Amino acid sequence: MANDEKRRYSSQVVDGASHAPSRAMLHAVGFQDADFAKPQVGIASTWSMVTPCNMHINELADAAAMGADEAGGKSVLFNTITVSDGISMGSPGMRYSLVSREVIADSIETVVGAQGFDGFVAIGGCDKNMPACAMAMARLNRPSVFVYGGTIQTGKDRRDIVSVFEAVGAHAAGRISDIELKDVEATSIPGPGSCAGMYTANTMASAIEAMGLSLPNSSAQEAVSQQKRKDSYNAGAAVVNLLELGIKPSDILCREAFENAITMVIALEGSTNAVLHLIAIAKAAGIPLSLEDFTRIGKRVPVLADMRPAGEYAMSELIAIGGIQPLMKMLLAEGLLHGDCLTVTGKTLAENLKDVPDYPADQKIIRPLSNPVKKDSHLVILYGNLAPEGAVAKITGHEGLRFEGTAKVFHGEEAAMQAILDGAVTKGDVVVVRYEGPKGGPGMREMLSPTSAINGRGLSQDVALITDGRFSGGSHGFVIGHVTPEAFTGGPIALLEDGDRIVVDAEQCEINVQLSDQELAERRANWRAPAPYTETGVLAKYAKLVSSASDGAVTG
């Protein structure tokens, strides 16, 4: 490719006498004369000391910059924000979590667009900045590569962040002492990296790799490893190669690529948040994707990974046996992946997997197709008189496939959490947490604190939780989120009362309250919409613009 084509955007910023002021500014940040003739590669870093997920990403950004420079580009580092779900969980601050996905995508788009970068590397390490990076890649449609910041190692006794949340419930139930709780708190997070199980970060890293937006094995490396630094370096060089080849995200993000991502999420027993995020990325890419696609693919793809939170193993243990590449090779051989999809290597998925070794014969983390954890998807899309536009359940098989119980209704997460800790939630209850949707929260908070408290009290087999909010990838139990329409817009979840009988049937894919149409109509006639969010700032903008959860909860 001719150099002027590789520099399609940066040449508009730095070429010619009229752009002498631009060059003057860039000299001050380290550009030499020769650099103006090179393609500019932005390095979008989500480094922050806000969270262990991202505390090391400055080092990865430096490695990516070096890779781009040594391949013939000119790197330019810039930062965007991140927030921590694990820290803000269970507080009003969690309302900003999903909002941050939009802010991060907007900010990467803004910097890359304003500065005229010809391509870029995007490095994400926590739940929302990862799909945000992919959304920005799709919107900008410039040669780009995603780098996952990597997983954390487990702590003492293989603990992780979910161990701490569940210890809170166990402490409330009197099952562990103050000293034992403090020990769990102090020994569960040993250093940098994203949460240790197949929670949202590791789920999205795997999905993004399956889509072809990251280099092979980027999803399966520890944050503190030399392999992760090499992956970052290679990503910088890969962007320069994509510029040479003229390959853009639109050449990679076809419908089949999203089907590959869904397949991997299911096989790995990944987070329900993947439904929300993959729909959002697809919208940014202009690819039609809906809840029905998860149902369709889920009928033929089994759950094969015995991974936390419902299973046994952590991501670092999957890394030790080869990561997700051997699993992808297995699924490809069975015709469950589209091998002809292009990836950021410049090769197809099948070409990338050609020489990948199989898993060790004695490993127990990934089941064979002949003996799956579950024969079909754990992500079950439910419809019924409680969710006419759909809800997302995480049914791994450990909880059973049907739950019938009595509603205990709470306006917001805090009230539900207090009731669980106080022992007011008992066997047979269906905890209903409403007015937590994208508009009603606003922000669609995650319910890891209530679900972990339920599990910590030993009620995970006996209590269900439904919400128009969402769940952390660390949640497990009989949990149903993303109930749409949400309560704030008058969805049927707003009409529930204490004592109503609720039936969740995962085999029939239904969620219903045992009330007549007439009773629901009478309640609707008496329902009054709550006042809209009246504060100013980002939450107000989000509440005004955000779409339904079934449509990805996007703002544009």
What's the pLDDT band for 144 if we cut at 50, 70, 90? very high
3-state secondary structure 406-465: EEEEEECHHHHHHHHHHCCCCCCEEEEEECCCCCCCCCCCECHHHHHHHHHCCCCCCCEE
- What superfamily would CATH give domain 38-151+195-353? Response regulator (3.40.50.2300)
Q: What's the CATH fold of domain 379-551?
A: Glucose Oxidase; domain 1 (3.50.30)
How large is the average pLDDT for residues 152-165? Answer: 94
What's the pLDDT band for 133 if we cut at 50, 70, 90? very high
How large is the average pLDDT for residues 13-17? Answer: 97
**What is the Cα–Cα distance from 473 to 82, expressed in whole angstroms?**
18
Query: Residues 319, 223: contact at Cβ < 8 Å?
Result: no
Neighbours of 502 (CB within 10 A): 23
Backbone angles phi, psi at 397, to 5 degrees: 105, -25
Q: One-letter amino acid identity for 124?
A: G
How large is the average pLDDT for residues 254-279? Answer: 97
At 477 the pLDDT is 83
How large is the average pLDDT for residues 266-290? Answer: 97
- Asked if residue 1 has pLDDT above 80, the reply is no
What single string gives the DSSP state of each residue in 125-136? -STTHHHHHHHH
Q: What is the mean pLDDT of the chain?
A: 96
How do 144-148 and 379-384 pair as beta strands? Answer: unpaired
What's the pLDDT band for 12 if we cut at 50, 70, 90? very high
What's the pLDDT band for 102 if we cut at 50, 70, 90? very high
What's the pLDDT band for 417 if we cut at 50, 70, 90? very high
Query: Residues 436, 497: contact at Cβ < 8 Å?
Result: no
Backbone angles phi, psi at 300, to 5 degrees: -115, -5
Greatest C-alpha distance within the chain: 76
What's the pLDDT band for 4 if we cut at 50, 70, 90? confident
Tokens 């006419």 -> residue: 388
Question: Which strands form 144-148's sheet, in the order they lie side by side?
Answer: 74-79, 40-45, 119-124, 144-148
| Catalytic machinery residues | 472
How large is the average pLDDT for residues 190-194? Answer: 97
What's the pLDDT band for 460 if we cut at 50, 70, 90? confident
How large is the average pLDDT for residues 1-17? Answer: 88
**Taking the model in full, what pTM does it have?**
0.96
**Which residue, among 385, 550, 555, 383, has the nearest Cα to 470 in the 3D structure?**
550
Calculate the alpha carbon distances from 352 to 265, 339, 347, 355, 390 in Å: 19, 9, 7, 8, 36
Note the pLDDT tens digit of each residue in 496-544.
Answer: 999 999 999 999 999 999 999 999 999 999 999 998 887 889 999 999 9
- Asked if residue 2 has pLDDT above 70, the reply is no
At 106 the pLDDT is 98
Percent of the chain at pLDDT > 70 equals 99
**What is the Cα–Cα distance from 356 to 363, expressed in whole angstroms?**
16
- Asked if residue 397 has pLDDT above 80, the reply is no
At 534 the pLDDT is 78
Query: CATH 3.50.30.80 spans which residues of the chain?
Result: 379-551
The length of the chain, given as a count of residues = 556
- Asked if residue 135 has pLDDT above 80, the reply is yes
**Which residue, among 257, 264, 249, 233, has the nearest Cα to 349 in the 3D structure?**
257
Query: Residues 264, 207: contact at Cβ < 8 Å?
Result: yes
**What angle do helix axes 161-172 and 178-187 make, rounded to 10 degrees?**
170
